[in-house]
Amino acid sequence: MPNAHLELTGVDMTFPTPRGTFHALDTVNLKIARGEFVSLIGHSGCGKSTVLNIVAGLLRASRGGCVLDGREVTEPGPERAVVFQNHALMPWLTVYENVELAVRQVFRHTLDRKARREWIQHNLELVNMAHAADKRPGEISGGMAQRVGIARALAMKPKVLLMDEPFGALDALTRAHLQDSLMAIHQSLGNTVIMITHDVDEAVLLSDRIVMMTNGPAATVGEDLHINLPRPRDRVALAEDPDYARYRQAVLRFLYEKQRKLETLTPRAPAAASPAPEERRAARA
């Protein structure tokens, strides 16, 4: 991948703590092509969210950095939209107004009021939420609220969509529906997507690549698995697909077998260097 759309090079991340320096990431190298769907997976505390926050511009790497289309990422920007596990909608605004907030911020100088209104409506229709435009977040379900969060992110026309366990708090049926919607949206728009997940089946179903992180501290990329399954993907048909089973087994083997072996071979950092609660929250995956 000589001309990567997004590239992390030699990324180290350390956090100062009252008991010493906590080394969260160690020499993370990752190249992502335009339009790829990449999942980050690994045990809790392996630095997945730290990687995502560096790409989002919410954190600056202690060493190395992130480059998007030839420009270093140094701060947040609308070309990198984030969808969190908690939809983070403004409870006093309607569904329409929550999406409008992002659209007005990004396009207030380039789109007139009529064009902004049509664009908001388009993105609500994209996630099947146009019917609830006048409702407030407290009046809709968690899955519907997450759809609005996705619509708000997409309405910014991001080059990269960053998703931090976007379906982790949802029930299994709602999660499946949103996974199918996300696959359809990705196929339609061709955005680059980086998603954190703990769900192996979700990672295999949605991804072009699964990046598996080693355990922290000093976490790094352990394996990079390409998922060569044809799109569009049907979850029912894939359940009987031997390739799907093989990819799933490879991820599980890394998480449960290779990682245990690595832990026995790698000395753990002294307990005194473990981060205080606030640093753990900042570095949590």
Average pLDDT value for residue range 54-71: 95
- Here the tokens at position 229 are 């399954």
Average pLDDT value for residue range 166-194: 92
Q: Select the more confidently predicted residue: 69 or 266.
A: 69
Average pLDDT value for residue range 222-228: 96
With 0-12 / 13-18 / 19 or more C-beta atoms within 10 angstroms meaning exposed / middle / buried, residue 158 is buried
Q: Which domains does the chain have, with CATH numbers?
A: 1-79+158-274 (3.40.50.300), 86-157 (no CATH)
Q: Select the more confidently predicted residue: 261 or 218.
A: 218
How many residues in total does the chain contain? 285
Sheet holding 192-196, edge to edge: 80-83, 160-164, 192-196, 37-41, 209-213, 221-226
The pLDDT value given to residue 284:
46
pLDDT in tens, 114-172: 999 999 999 999 999 999 999 999 999 999 999 999 999 999 999 999 999 999 888 89
DSSP class of residue 130 equals G
> What amino acid is encoded at 141 in this protein?
S
Q: Residue 103: helix, strand or coil by DSSP?
A: helix
pLDDT in tens, 230-279: 999 999 999 899 999 999 999 999 998 755 655 665 555 554 444 544 44
The pLDDT value given to residue 157:
93
What distance in Å separates the CA atoms of residue 184 and residue 126, rounded to the nearest whole number?
Answer: 10
Whether 178 has a pLDDT exceeding 80, the answer reads yes
What distance in Å separates the CA atoms of residue 165 and residue 167, rounded to the nearest whole number?
Answer: 6
